Amino acid sequence: MSADQFISTLNSFVWGPYMLLLLVGTGLYLSIRLKFIQFTRLPQALALLVKHGRSEDGSGDIPPVQALTTALSATIGTGNIAGVATAIFLGGPGAVFWMWICAVFGMATKFAEAVLAVKYRHLLPDGTMQGGPMRYIAEGLGLRWLGWLFALMGSVAAFGIGSMVQSNSVAVVLRQHCHVPEGVTGVVLALMTGVVIIGGIKRIGKVTEKIVPVMGIFYVAGALVVLCIHAVHIPEALMLILKHAFQPASAAGGFAGAAVSQAIRFGVARGVFSNEAGLGSAPIAHAAARTSDPVRQGLIAMTGVFFDTIIICSMTALVILSTGAWKSGLTSSALTYLAFETGLPGIGGLVVTLGLAIFAYSTMIGWAYYGEECIEYIFGIGARMPYRFIFCLAIAYGAFQKVDFVWNFSDTMNGAMAIPNLIGLIGLTSILVKETESRL
């Protein structure tokens, strides 16, 4: 059995019906226990970004807004461009609906992760904060071996979702449309990432605070222009999403067709890849927030899923469907490129190329921090610098890999991270609810 076949088989097992049930079920369970906080408190959560985004209230490494932008830097990435396109290619238009469902319940999951991360975080000998699933699983549940397992999976997963996938997606686009060799792309991205992560979370926070809002607005603005031009096709695109969420999508043009089970599987898998709710990655960044109120940081964290999936992923999906590009037979970033170029000839492709490069760069910065904190939890502070160096090497290496192998590897590692994290969330729900009710 080849490496590709082994990873594909393992991926099918990890992302089988039990994982989908665990992810969505945990989000639903938390939504009920938290009285659907993602609906009742979303306006308040958005307001907190303005009122307390730069709060100095409490201990921590970076302001709350920088914790959010660091988390968003890792989530707003190729999942929003290549991931959405891959979900539609493999699962049909209905996959978008299941991405939305994943996001709605994922907002409650993300809230829970951030609250527990701040509550159980630790001050390290060098004065920096460390928190996340490895801490709240070990300290809250008393399952140190499971916390250690999460940290191991997180440090490995960073090489897939956080480095190789990103450089691979950028390399594919730049080679096809700008004739840039993969090696050049990989080396440049590795060097640019290394310059930032060498300064730790404080430098990462400062960089992401500047580039995340700019890149998000740039990409959404480009998508809105395309959608305005093709506004007449938007209702049809929405109907395709709703119809094929519950009915098989027949083959059309280059599209091979997809069953409802494929729509659910790839919609949820790519939804998690995009917003990372349930993986346990984002709370590592939120644990570094300078705050004394875990619930307030949880509300701020919750908005990340809203921005990432409900807004940006939806924009990508509607552009792909309204322009008819989804029938082309293309997948990954090439499909999104075609959709934008079809909708806005001469400019649309540039929006995707620049957006993908910037998104991927910011994702690598964010995930470098996640992986570093995980490896630091296992081996101590001395492991930081070696991990940063190896992470940058993985970025350069990923530019040469096959798209299918890299995506499958990332999906498998995501699932491996999610399992211990979701166990921790379910086991600590009563403490989470008590903490939330005492502060809201």
Report the CATH number that the domain containing residue 331 is assigned in CATH: 1.20.1740.10
CA dist 282 and 273 (Å) reads 12
Per-residue H/E/C for 94-133 = HHHHHHHHHHHHHHHHHHHHHHHHHHCCEECCCCCEECCH
Single-letter code of the amino acid located at 192: M
CA dist 423 and 19 (Å) reads 12
Residue-wise over 388-419: b if at least 16 C-beta within 10 A, else e?
beebbebbbbbbebebebbbbbbbbbbbbbbb
Report the pLDDT value the prediction gives residue 325, as an integer from 0 to 100: 93
Report the pLDDT value the prediction gives residue 406, as an integer from 0 to 100: 65
Per-residue pLDDT reduced to its tens digit, 133-145: 999 999 999 999 9
CA dist 114 and 139 (Å) reads 15
Confidence at 270, pLDDT banded by 50, 70, 90: confident
Report the pLDDT value the prediction gives residue 200, as an integer from 0 to 100: 84
Report the pLDDT value the prediction gives residue 404, as an integer from 0 to 100: 66
With a pLDDT cut of 90, the percent of the chain lying above it is 52
CA dist 385 and 27 (Å) reads 36
CA dist 72 and 74 (Å) reads 5
Residue 391's Cβ-side half-sphere holds a number of Cα atoms within 13 Å equal to 35
Q: Which of 265-274, 344-353, 409-418 has the lowest mean pLDDT?
A: 409-418
What 3-state class would DSSP assign to 414? helix
Which is more confidently placed, 221 or 53? 221
Confidence at 199, pLDDT banded by 50, 70, 90: confident
Please name the helix (run of DSSP H) or strand (run of DSSP E) that holds residue 138, with its range, or none: none
Q: Is the dihedral of CA 113, 160, 130, 195 positive or negative?
A: negative
Q: State the average pLDDT over residues 64-78.
A: 87
Confidence at 379, pLDDT banded by 50, 70, 90: very high
Q: State the average pLDDT over residues 76-104.
A: 90
- Nearest to 359, CA basis, from 316, 321, 326, 302: 316
Place of tokens 């899923």: 305
Report the pLDDT value the prediction gives residue 1, as an integer from 0 to 100: 64
Report the pLDDT value the prediction gives residue 130, as an integer from 0 to 100: 92
Please give the residue range of the domain that contains residue 337: 3-439
Length of the chain in terms of residues written: 440
Report the pLDDT value the prediction gives residue 119, as an integer from 0 to 100: 95
Number of domains in the chain: 1
Q: Which two tokens stand for residue 95?
A: 């996959």
pTM score, whole prediction:
0.92
Report the pLDDT value the prediction gives residue 127, as an integer from 0 to 100: 86
DSSP 42-67: HHHHHHHHHHSTT---SS-SB-HHHH
Which is more confidently placed, 34 or 256? 34
Quick count: other Cβ atoms within 10 Å of Cβ 29?
18
Report the pLDDT value the prediction gives residue 164, as an integer from 0 to 100: 83
Residue 162 has pLDDT above 90, yes or no: no
Which is more confidently placed, 271 or 289? 289
- Nearest to 263, CA basis, from 102, 100, 86, 92: 92
DSSP 172-226: HHHHHHH---HHHHHHHHHHHHHHHHTTHHHHHHHHHHHHHHHHHHHHHHHHHHH
